[in-house]
Amino acid sequence: SKIFSLMFSALLCGSLLTGCGNTGSTQNDLSETPANVSLEAVFAGGAGTETDPYQIETIAQLETFRDGVNDGSQNGYTGAFIQLGADLDMEGAVWTPIGTMEDMEGHSTMFLGVFDGDGHTVSNLSYTSEAPTVGAGLFGISCGTVKNLNMDALNLYGAGKYAYWLASGISVDYT
The percentage of the chain sitting over the pLDDT mark of 90, rounded to a whole number, equals: 41
- The pLDDT-based confidence of 106 (bands split at 50, 70, 90) is confident
More confident site: 100 or 20 = 100
Report the pLDDT averaged over residues 135-163.
Answer: 79
- pLDDT grade for 2, boundaries at 50, 70 and 90: very low
**pTM for this prediction:** 0.74
Q: What is the DSSP string of 78-134?
A: TT-EEEE-S-EE-TT-----B--STTTTT-TTSB-SEEE-TT-EEES-EEEESS-EE
Strand partners, 83: 55, 116
Q: Rounded to whole angstroms, what are the CA distances from 104 to 81, 141, 165? A: 22, 10, 19
Per-residue pLDDT, 69: 92
